[in-house]
Amino acid sequence: MSKKMPVSKSWHSQSAEDALSQLASTADGLSSQEAEQRLLTNGLNELKEGKHISPLQIILGQFKSLLIWILIAAGVVSGLLGEIVDAIAILAIVVLNAVIGFYQEFNAEKSIAALKKMTAPKAKVQRDGQVTSIAASGIVAGDILVLEAGDLVAADARLLKAASLKCIESALTGESEAVTKQAGNLKQADIPLGDRENMVFMGTSVAAGTGVAVVVATAMETELGRIASLIEEAGAEERTPLEKKLESFGRVLVWAALGIVALLFGLGLLRGTKLLELFMTSVSLAVAAVPEGLPAVVTVALALGVLRMSRRRALVRKLPAVETLGSTTVICTDKTGTLTVGEMTVRALYVADQRYEVTGEGYGPNGEVRFEGRKAEAPHAAPLLELASVLLGCNNAHLVQEGGTWKTIGDPTEGALLAAGLKAGGDRKRIDKELPKQHEFPFDSDRKRSTVIRKMPDGHLRALINGAPDVLLDRCTKLYTNTGVRALTDQDRQSILAQNTAMAGQSLRVLGSAWRDLDSTLPTNITADAVEQDLVFVGLSGMHDPPRQEAKEAIAKCRTAGIRVVMITGDHPNTAMAIAQEIGLASEGDQAVAGVELDKMSNEELRRRVSSISVYARVTAEHKLRIIRALKKANDAVVAMTGDGVNDAPALKGADIGIAMGKAGTEVTKQAADMIITDDNFATIVAAVEQGRGIYANIRKTLQYLLAGNTGELLLMTVCVVIGLPTPLLPIHLLWINLVTDGLPALCLATDPIDPDVMKRRPRLRSARITNRSFLGTMFLTGFLTAGVAFTVYLYVLKTGTPEAARTSAFAVLVFAELLRSFGARSEIKPVWRISLFANVNLMIVVALSFGLQVWSQHNETFARFLKTAYMPFTDCLLLLAVGAIPLFVLEMVKIGWHAWRKRVEHAQPKEN
């Protein structure tokens, strides 16, 4: 039986011969018998499935909140005491809350399952000395993979041979540019994943060329498998800040309600009150203490927030994530495609001693070539066309339009050159038709050039070459100018190199273009080295992945809002820092921290330094997860993480809120995320944060509105029981107030338009309580005022009329006070007359309908029986309406006084010079 294969993280630093020896394999591959034995020992080349979450588990997950169990207990007790209507109403709220939550979260976690879809179903291997196609799950360490363009790599492997081999590794590194591969040795052991040129990895694809490689890792031992393990490790999800705060609030509410009920129950026993009456009073107090509408209001507020965000191209998969996003203090974002366009774009051209600017973004035809700020006119057409002919003629990429978006088929760099050549006046179809391709030398990392030989109209051949400027210039002896071709002088070389340096200084990747005329026929044994000499230098093209125009503004908005933005990318440190400085994310002199430096830091050192680092480059999936965890531990931060590649999925799971890119994002990343941005735009994330903050503010004022109402009810009930008066409100009255009178306006408050100044405030801390001193002060003052007017009315009518009339009056004035107070509850700062009523038309409609229902309940016999109310003249209703306005009036006066005091304090503070 074969022994288990060795696991090594540094296969790239070993020679091909050493790798074959260590794996007990040969260049001809394994025998079928040996492969079968290794398969039995090491297992199938498949990623492990994650735990499947069933719909039943999702349903049960909706009942984790303590507040929900309080409502269930209240409903059960009400049912046992014969209050069937109360019980049904309370339990209906619980069911509604569960249904909404289940609907939003029905898409269960499938991260590992989605990873399996990325692995190759079939692969070509060399066994028994012959190339054969087998199921990818049957590949073992030591197998020899045979790769060609279009293949999905089935396992991690060390290259033995590579011919113009390029791989797309965006799923692992996040960078879309094809990586050139070679079979040589790499001496360093600590090279970042994206720089391991002699390795190919499971789940990546071959863009061009061919290769032969020995498999060094399969299944969960691959880089993709390690990411799958990290997803599982990071997947133990924490509850969101709002969930924790509501849970904490629920516990306080339980003990407060139990304390009051126990105290009054004991007082009743001492007085000799009947046990059944005591139970009914206790139920009434419990109903008064619990805001029955709160779970539904919070759930609906979050669900409507989801709808609002979807209109702004942000799809939320998990309801609580809406509020979490609003409390974000750090946003960790990828560079490519999020802060940048995600497509290589030529920005500058240099030809015939003139530099040109190229406008437009991506691969589309929008844009033009400009000279000194204006569109390049006729005198510039000839040199631009000369350069365009090389850019288009030595190019295998194709541009296609899909769903209104231009994309490149082939190498992204060639796609960018193709787009620039078309803007410069070139015609790809004409070149392919009139200058047919005769031969090609593909780009390789040794030559750093690519060459296409085409037949010119007069019959002679011309070699068109694109490559690294310094290497290309060494092979040039002539220069293209406006007046024709002449000898290349040392001064010309210096000028060209100076332009190359200037473009590189602007973080542009520079390619040079040249041509050479050949005879009409090619020798059969023609070599690249023989062709690529005595060249005519034509020009330079400077390209980069440009920053999104809106990214700079979005980052400035984050800074104003007190949110820190951190770039985490797989790109090179210099490129990452240049983009970071251009968009205002980093300052001059800041340094990017590379993955190899992170490897040398302990977790404690990283935690100490993480607050001062804005750019991380050349990082792996493990690095990203470490950074996220360090940020969460430092300064009590709430961390959002964006990503699109498989390598981002663990960090998305580990963050407080994971944000996946909808366009470029892999299925794995989307499944691991809490939210998906459909336009892959950082500005959309910032807009979603703004929505999240607004939703939190709405939930907070709604909670205050509900709790202030409950406080008033509880105070009224408690005072009357303590002094020995009959119960002022029956359970049905309290339930009506909590579910209809308070519940419906609360829903409208939860959907109030977002305050435009919400992004000018500092983010709240993770540890900040939702019920702070200001919140509690307003709540108790409001409760005292509403209880005061209701008690006064109840006492007056009780002395002059029947207990039924007194209850009806107390019930009515409490309802009127609550409805009027909903207008003032829309802002903690602005008085009611400074808030447009028409900004929340739904609230006006609900208040008007509730007023009508309340008056109708005192004049309709059936409705009166249901609500247990007595008849009341319309004049009394108007009088009670005026009395009910007292709490609103006092609260608005307090707002004005507080605002005036705050302005005096601000003016009294010494101004800075």
Catalytic residue numbers?
334
**The two three-digit tokens of residue 101, written as one number:** 């939550």
The CA-atom distances, in angstroms, between 801 and each of 720, 797, 870 are 17, 5, 11
- Stretch (H or E) spanning 330: strand 330-333
> Using the 8-state DSSP alphabet, how is residue 547 labeled?
B
Residue with the two structure tokens 């080349």: 45
Q: Which amino acid is at 422?
A: L
Answer for the pair 576, 544: CB distance below 8 angstroms, yes or no: no
For the chain, count helices (H), then strands (E). 34, 28
Answer for the pair 443, 207: CB distance below 8 angstroms, yes or no: no
Spatial CA neighbour of 712 closest among 803, 793, 770, 781: 781
State the Cα–Cα distance between residues 247 and 787, nearest whole angstrom. 27
State the Cα–Cα distance between residues 514 and 527, nearest whole angstrom. 17
The DSSP code sequence of 44-109 is -S-PPPPPPPPHHHHHHHTT--HHHHHHHHHHHHHHHTT-HHHHHHHHHHHHHHHHHHHHHH-S--
Alpha helical stretches, state H, 404-457: 412-423, 428-434
Answer for the pair 312, 613: CB distance below 8 angstroms, yes or no: no
Give the alpha-carbon dihedral of 888, 894, 899, 903, to 10 degrees: 160
Q: How far, in whole angstroms, is CA 563 from its chain's centroid?
A: 15
State the Cα–Cα distance between residues 327 and 792, nearest whole angstrom. 42
State the Cα–Cα distance between residues 475 and 204, nearest whole angstrom. 35
- HEC profile for 639-663? EEEEECCHHHHHHHHHCCEEEEECC
Give every CB contact of residue 81 below 8 A, 6+ residues apart in sequence: 279, 280, 283
**The two three-digit tokens of residue 396, written as one number:** 């295998």
Q: Which amino acid is at 523?
A: P
Answer for the pair 464, 452: CB distance below 8 angstroms, yes or no: yes
Give every CB contact of residue 16 below 8 A, 6+ residues apart in sequence: 158, 159, 160, 183, 185, 214
State the Cα–Cα distance between residues 688 and 677, nearest whole angstrom. 9
State the Cα–Cα distance between residues 913 and 911, nearest whole angstrom. 6
Give every CB contact of residue 876 below 8 A, 6+ residues apart in sequence: 809
**The two three-digit tokens of residue 464, written as one number:** 């068109």
Give every CB contact of residue 831 below 8 A, 6+ residues apart in sequence: 824, 892, 895, 896
Answer for the pair 155, 204: CB distance below 8 angstroms, yes or no: no
Q: Is 156 strand, coil or helix? A: strand
State the Cα–Cα distance between residues 764 and 208, nearest whole angstrom. 50
